[in-house]
Amino acid sequence: MASDAHVHAHEESLALREQFDTAAQQKDASTLGMWIFLITEVMFFGGLFLAYTVYRHLYAEVFAVASSSMNVYYGAANTVVLLCSSLTMVLAVRAAQLGQKKAIVLFLILTLILGGVFLGVKAFEWKEKFDEHHIPGPTFHLDGVSSSEQGHAQLFFSLYFAMTGLHALHMVIGAGLLLYLILEARKGIFTAEYNTPVDLIGLYWHFVDIIWIFLFPLLYLIDRHLKR
């Protein structure tokens, strides 16, 4: 495998550009840069998580009723789908580290399909919310909440759509990145020496997974036992 890099000068230049001393230094710099981007994303989502926590504290009863109207089984199934996609993603990264060119493409395609399944289930859930009048706006109505508290219930659903919507947007962007990786991987440019894009997009995909790991219990599970 090492000899491959010497044969193809193009690959070697991708793995070691002239501003870096070693390929390891270049890889560390790329990884660090990606993590710094992910930290800004953590703070970005952090603000929404904070807003959710503050309002859940202020309107605990209403938020419990609203949260209990979520379908836990869709949420749990989607969590499993996303975890499966993280497994296939990490296997794609592993295949790239080992220079297994066909396996990279296969695992990336599987990841893309699972990401699509997640978004499909999400779209179905949102459609249900439309049908049940749980979309914040003039026609909003949530059963089990008094008319004076409907506004607070709308707040829950506003946060729900903002958080799951932003998460879904990240999934769509992730799907675009995966598509790019699949096209590149089919050309066979990722090798044991150079696989940074697979690695970094893998980090992004797992980050989006972690956001959902927190969204699922906060939006679907907590306070379910308080249901009036």
Partner 1 sequence: MSNDVHQHVDSVTTYVLVFVGLICLTVATTAVAFVDLGPFSVVVALVIACCKMLLVALFFMHVRHSTKLTRLVVLGGLLWLGILLLLTLGDVMSRGWVGVPGR
Q: Which residues bind partner 1 (CB under 8 A)?
A: 1-2, 5-6, 12, 15-16, 22-24, 27-28, 31-32, 35-36, 38-39, 42-43, 46-47, 49-50, 53-54, 57-58, 72, 76, 79-80, 83-84, 86-87, 89-91, 94, 97-98, 192-193, 202-203, 206-207, 209-210, 213-214, 216-218, 220-225
Q: Break the chain down into helix, strand, coil percent, rounded to 5.
A: 80, 0, 20
Residues 6+ apart with CB under 8 A from 212: 78, 79, 82, 167
39 or 172, CB closer to partner 1? 39
Torsion sign over Cα 117, 137, 208, 68: negative
136 or 202, CB closer to partner 1? 202
Shortest spacing between CB 208 and partner 1, in angstroms: 10
Shortest spacing between CB 10 and partner 1, in angstroms: 14
Place of tokens 């932003």: 166
185 or 193, CB closer to partner 1? 193
79 or 154, CB closer to partner 1? 79
- Please check whether residue 206 is in contact with residue 69, taking contact to mean a CB–CB distance below 8 angstroms: no
* 3 state DSSP class of 184: helix
